[in-house]
Amino acid sequence: MTHTIPYPDWQATLDEKARTFLETARERVAENGAEVLPVLFPQLPRRLGREIPGSGLAVVQGRVWDWGAWRACDLAALELVEEAEIPGSMRVDLFLHGDMEERLMAMRTLVPAPVTDATIELLGEAQRTNTVPHFEAAICDSNLLVRALEHSAFGIEDFNRMVLKLAFIDLPLSRVLQATEHANEDLSRMLQDLATEREAAGRAVWADTNRMIARAPTAGTLARLIGGLEHGDDRQRLAAAEGMAALPKRSELAELARERWEREPRPQIRTALEKITAP
């Protein structure tokens, strides 16, 4: 198994007690294998801490993730699961019988690993359980969701459902790396329907809706984008402007964008509008 060494010196922020614990845990794993993980995993957050010791993007064999989302306990969990050469069934077991923190670590340690049957099963759990920290650990701050499409048991319909859940719980699209590359008309329709439903109920609409639907326009997309330019919420207006800038035929909207630009008070939105009018 290829070991993913976390960024150098990640343990520098640990105190001596935590370092000793991790050292002992590694020895226990080396001696007994994965069978000790169910006893070690629950201890990691309280022994190693929940601070985030570093940051930076990792790119390994097409797998991309942001160390800035990894807490000390997550990093230790990664070292232990790799040391143990954890079988997929154990990953699933750690999630199913884990507390909040264990479940989070079980999800996060999927991110640097190859996509296997266990990955797909756990992504299904993230989708089904709808618990925000677990959902975040599974699909945010990495390109795991996109990589999952390489697996025969995970299709574009599964991808769409996950993005729809992202919208439902209002997490930023930018945290799911490379997701916009897989925009599709069916997803646009799903997101637009959710937005309409929310609007009818007087509830907030996912601010990234317009960013995603513009990449694969379907019936109603253009009207929603144009309407978004007049939205009273700055985030919605910005997303509409950025979405329009990503449209394949944006030049047709240049006149509208220019007109809005003259009235737009926010510099960031004005910049986005300029991209629509650019030749």
Partner 1 sequence: MRIFEPHAHMFSRVTDDYERMALAGIRAILEPAFWLGQNRTSVGTFIDYFDTIIGWERFRAQQFGIHHFCTMGLNPREANDDRVNDDVMAILPRYLEKDSVLGVGEIGLDDQTPKEEKYFLGQIELAKQHELPVLIHTPHRDKKKGFERMIDLIKDSGFPMERVLLDHGNEETIKITKDLGLYSGFSIYPHTKMDPRRMVSILKEYGMERMIINSAADWGISDPLLVPKTCIALEQAGFPDEAIEQLVWDNPITFFEQEGGRLDRAELEKPANIDRRETWDGNSVLRGQDPEKY
Does 101 help bind partner 1 (rule: CB under 8 A)?
yes
| Cβ within 8 Å of residue 100, ≥6 positions away | 131, 133
If the CB atoms of residues 67 and 206 are measured against partner 1, the closer one turns out to be: 206
If the CB atoms of residues 133 and 220 are measured against partner 1, the closer one turns out to be: 133
Does 97 help bind partner 1 (rule: CB under 8 A)?
yes
Positions of E strands within 14-157: 57-60, 63-66
Does 132 help bind partner 1 (rule: CB under 8 A)?
yes
Supply the minimum distance, in Å, between the C-beta of residue 132 and partner 1: 7
Supply the minimum distance, in Å, between the C-beta of residue 40 and partner 1: 8
C-alpha–C-alpha distance, residues 158 and 182, integer Å: 12
For 260, the token pair is: 């809005």
Binding mask 185-204 for partner 1 (x = CB under 8 A): ------------------x-
Does 141 help bind partner 1 (rule: CB under 8 A)?
no
**Which one of 1, 5, 30, 39 is in contact with partner 1 (CB under 8 A)?**
39
Contact 123, 162 (CB under 8 A): yes
Rama region for 181: left / alpha / beta (φ>0; ψ in -120 to 50; rest): alpha
**Which one of 16, 31, 62, 128 is in contact with partner 1 (CB under 8 A)?**
128
If the CB atoms of residues 131 and 218 are measured against partner 1, the closer one turns out to be: 131
Does 45 help bind partner 1 (rule: CB under 8 A)?
yes
Packed helices 72-83 and 16-32: angle between N→C axes, nearest 10 degrees: 20
C-alpha–C-alpha distance, residues 253 and 255, integer Å: 6
Q: Considering Cα of 217, then 220, then 223, then 225, what sign does the dihedral take?
A: negative
Binding site for partner 1 (CB under 8 A): 38-40, 42-43, 45-47, 96-97, 99-102, 128-132, 203
